Amino acid sequence: MNKKLFLVLAALSALLFSCYKDIDMEKYRPEPDLVLNGIISADTNIMLSISRTKFFTDTNRYEIIKDASVSLHVNGIFREHLQWMADKSFYGGGIYSSSYKPQTGDLIKIEATTTYGEAWVEETIPSKVLIEDVTFARKLIYDHTNFYVDSNGNIIEVPTIEITYRITFTDNSETMNYYFIRIDNPRPPFEDLGNLDYSSDPVFVEQVSVVDGLFGDKTIQGQGGRSFTDHLINGQRYTLVIRETLPGVNYDYAPAWDRRILLYAITKSYYNYLTSMQTSADAANSTNLSTFGFTEPVRIFTNINGGVGIMATSQHDITLANLKQILTDPK
């Protein structure tokens, strides 16, 4: 019996090893695509990165193209060629830059010609939307998760603090509008920020699929910000509601309480790109159907004709605040 088992295992091993085959992946290598990336705002020089796509076997993950011919047209009229500017502060060692600073309403067209081919993109600079008011509210949550021992040996519970931001602006009723809201800490090291949750406001909830969150919590995350439209608020003076949760806070660490609230007016293309990026991040970070393999991978939006990437146009308004007073208020 043991002899028969040995012969069967030997035969299976021989079969498995005989199935091994070298595959030349180079014959599957596609032609590279141009990659154009840039964010353009009013009254700021245009800056654009140009690179090419990489095959997954390439060891160099990023290859900037420094010898492209890049032309800028504004409102249908040629203005200049963007110049390569070497600068190690940029990823890839440099950037293409213009001397022209766009204005609100400008139609910006950029054409890039390289040895890998040609690509072009055209977008309009949107109008700025002002932040009219920002208010804060505080809630203490004793959830038995944070404690410390005082000098007398007493165990003291430190509450979790929930800050509610109410950010007011007025939407233009004459057009379909797209926005991006961001809350951050402007001081280095920039990570002094609690967990942000956007699920209290319907403009963010409407973006979430009905099936998303069925297997997990109902929070809508977005530490880097969140995009939305005026679909539900067209022409209204509207107040966004966003919550930040701060567990076990140290009131004496002043830099932690600085906040910067940024409201961006963005184009439809930029909104589609940000939404696809958010959907991809949500699929990776939450327990939803995509986690179980029941949905297709998210395709990242591009507005580049003849290539990939994003040329985004936007304008933003900023409000600065400090949370320490509301955090330490005894009420």
| Domain assignment of residue 8, yes or no | no
CA 24 to chain centre: 36
Q: Is residue 231 part of a domain?
A: yes
All residues at 6 or more sequence positions from 133 whose CB lies less than 8 Å from its CB, including other chains: 166, 167, 168, 239
Range of the domain at 71: 30-124
Claim to verify: residue 72 and residue 202 sit in the same structural domain: no
For residue 12, being part of any structural domain is answered with no
Rounded Cα gap, residues 89 and 75, in angstroms: 31
- 178 shares a domain with 296: yes
Contact by Cβ (8 Å): 94, 112: no
143 in the same domain as 59: no
On whether both 72 and 156 belong to a single domain, the answer is: no
- What distance in Å separates the CA atoms of residue 188 and residue 115, rounded to the nearest whole number? 41
Give the pLDDT confidence score for residue 209 in this predicted structure: 52
Question: What pLDDT is recorded for position 74?
Answer: 98
Closest alpha carbon to 221 in 233, 213, 229: 213
Asked whether 81 and 69 are in contact (CB, 8 A), the reply is yes
Q: Is residue 2 part of a domain?
A: no
The domain boundary, picked from 124, 158, 177, lies at 124
Structural domain includes residue 21? no
Cα–Cα distance, 9 to 92 (Å, whole number)? 54
Final residue before a domain boundary, out of 124, 144, 161: 124
In a domain, 63, yes or no: yes
pLDDT at position 231 is 94
pLDDT by 10s per residue, the chain, length 331: 555 555 555 555 655 555 556 665 555 555 778 999 999 999 999 999 999 876 555 566 667 899 999 999 999 999 999 999 988 777 777 899 999 999 999 999 999 999 989 999 999 999 999 999 999 998 888 888 777 787 888 888 888 889 999 999 999 999 999 999 999 988 766 567 889 999 999 999 887 754 454 445 567 888 889 999 999 999 999 999 999 988 766 555 556 788 999 999 999 999 999 988 887 776 665 545 545 555 556 678 999 999 999 999 999 999 999 887 777 665 5
Looking at residue 215, what is its pLDDT? 45
Let me know whether 92 and 205 are in one domain: no
Tell me how many domains the chain contains: 2
Secondary element (H or E) of residue 107? strand 107-114
If asked whether residues 112 and 229 sit together in one domain, one would say no
Q: Which of 102, 124, 146 is the last residue of a domain?
A: 124
Which CATH number fits the domain that encloses residue 39?
2.60.40
Q: Cα–Cα distance between 311 and 107 in angstroms, integer?
A: 13
pTM: 0.82
Distance CA 11, CA 274 (A): 55
Residue 231 sits in the same domain as residue 286? yes
Strand-strand pairing, 155-157 and 117-124: unpaired
Contact 168, 134 (CB under 8 A): yes
